[in-house]
Structure 1
């Protein structure tokens, strides 16, 4: 009598090797995401280059150039933003003061002392379309002094021709009046805010920057307006923006890498869980 032949157990399951990260990245769907990331990064790179081009001032103002008085029309036009190199440029403008449009702006400092500016609407001469520029005429230490100057200007200067020399300065932007203050109170020198209160403003063009007169009217002090600091020919804010766009372009590639890696890690984890389940089931 012969003994039975022993049965050697066999396994039909073949060993499964997980994919590598490189293999996952080379799959069509992730190559498609990479192509999209390249497009996004290219747009960001173009924006960075554009900002970089604006950061370097190709034709900077020569030292002392802002102190040479220029005709207003040669520096800026109505409705135009004032280029940074020209902020503080001394200009000359001729026109006529408009009656009832002498207004007060508070929170103005002269040599560190808070006070008020008296402003006016100067209707410029020799323009094809009626055009005005806001002028800061002078500084007063108290509201009473400023109001007295307005009364005097309305009585003596309104309708009279004037030639003003001063610095051309960018609009400070309107702000909401302080809580509890008169709703017409202005604390920023903003031609837009002044325009909303001018009585004679229908159908006119207006300069975005304003003119700070170097010589005050009677009863007011001259406005402290020193020469602007001479720049380095580099706009640091635009340079910062250019660096930001470069970071965003790099993030577009990181976003693709992170998504592909997450998908790879999940696939490896699923394979390990399946293998563990098969081993437990076989046991």
Structure 2
């Protein structure tokens, strides 16, 4: 009964863990459904400068107004659009009413808050380097993209970087405060819109968020916990069955069953360091000398007609 109670506790834990993994497998859909990224939100309500960007904000559509900082611009080589390899042109954009998410020090009032914006794509390096945004008010609808990790770009020309990394942009533009994300415009209006202009092609927003669906990894873990529960029950049943069989056959008694006698064969006498060759001969059927005994000697003679003969008994004279 004690072992049964232990097994029941283990099975309950295993089934509970399996249910937890099933819940995690479904949580992937719940998280995607909870983040309504298709609804356009005011930029300043979802993003704060100098603060980490929650992953749930990836691909969020936002609306904002502000102006370009034309001199604060970088070119990102190695990008692909419609199968053509070329360059991104990323220009810093100062949103109206921007907010700081964390204290930035006493000199924060002297700095401009800006976010990187992907203005367009071109296959020509000179066009990318010479393109500039116009000055003036801009209204924009865009999608938030997560910033990329920094990569060394010492071999690149001045003004080019390998990734859209805010840590690198801060070093390039020390007079700016920025965000943990960048914007991919959907549309822009105003005289200074500057999206897909000046020789640049429009870059459509892409989805970086994981799609919904059943999490197969968590589902696999759930099945494993159920297998552990079945194994615990099976092991308990086997132990119970073996104990029942032993009691049924009386194998737990100290007496030997007379119906099943055990035969013993002594092959070496006590005190001897080797097995008796005669005993080994009886066990194997081979001659004793094959097991170390002395080979019997025979006497040979020659008969009167010259043939060899063997005498096995002694002869006596007349």
TM-score calculated relative to the size of structure 2: 0.54
Q: 2:203 is matched with which residue? A: 224
Counterpart pick for 1:135 among 95, 99, 117: 117
Asked if 1:256 corresponds to 2:235, the answer is no
Asked if 1:41 corresponds to 2:11, the answer is no
Q: Give the C-alpha shift of residue 174 in structure 1.
A: 2.3
Q: Give the C-alpha shift of residue 117 in structure 1.
A: 1.4
Summarize the alignment of residues 37-116 of structure 1 with structure 2, pairs less than 5 Å apart: 37-56=14-33, 61=38, 72-73=43-44, 76-78=46-48, 79-81=52-54, 87=59, 89=61, 91-97=63-69, 99=71, 101-116=72-87
Q: Check the 8 A contact 1:91/1:167 in 2, yes or no.
A: yes
Aligned CA distance change for structure 1 residues 102 and 205 (closer, same or farther; 3 Å): closer
Give deviations 1:126-156, integer Å, cap 9, x for gaps: 334453211112333222332233xxx4xx9
Bigger radius of gyration among the two: 2
Summarize the alignment of residues 1-283 of structure 1 with structure 2, pairs less than 5 Å apart: 27-56=4-33, 61=38, 72-73=43-44, 76-78=46-48, 79-81=52-54, 87=59, 89=61, 91-97=63-69, 99=71, 101-129=72-100, 131-149=113-131, 153=132, 160-163=135-138, 165=140, 167-171=142-146, 173-174=148-149, 176=151, 181-182=155-156, 186-191=161-166, 193-195=168-170, 197-201=172-176, 204-206=177-179, 208-212=181-185, 215-216=194-195, 219-225=198-204, 237-241=211-215, 244-262=217-235, 265=238, 282-283=261-262
- Unaligned 5+ segments in structure 1 are 1-22, 230-234
Give deviations 1:115-134, integer Å, cap 9, x for gaps: 11121222222334453211
- In 2, the alpha carbon distance for the partners of 1:95 and 1:205 equals 14
Aligned CA distance change for structure 1 residues 240 and 49 (closer, same or farther; 3 Å): closer
- In 2, the alpha carbon distance for the partners of 1:58 and 1:171 equals 16
Q: Check the 8 A contact 1:93/1:165 in 2, yes or no.
A: yes
Q: Give the C-alpha shift of residue 237 in structure 1.
A: 3.8
Whose RCO is larger (CA < 8 A, sep 6+)? 1
Q: Give the C-alpha shift of residue 104 in structure 1.
A: 1.0
Number of residue pairs the alignment of both structures matches: 233
Aligned CA distance change for structure 1 residues 89 and 73 (closer, same or farther; 3 Å): same
Give deviations 1:202-259, integer Å, cap 9, x for gaps: xx35152423375447643132327x79xxxxx9844222x54344333212112224
- In 2, the alpha carbon distance for the partners of 1:140 and 1:121 equals 18
- In 2, the alpha carbon distance for the partners of 1:131 and 1:237 equals 32
- In 1, the alpha carbon distance for the partners of 2:175 and 2:37 equals 38
Aligned CA distance change for structure 1 residues 40 and 111 (closer, same or farther; 3 Å): closer
- After superposition, the CA RMSD in angstroms is 4.5
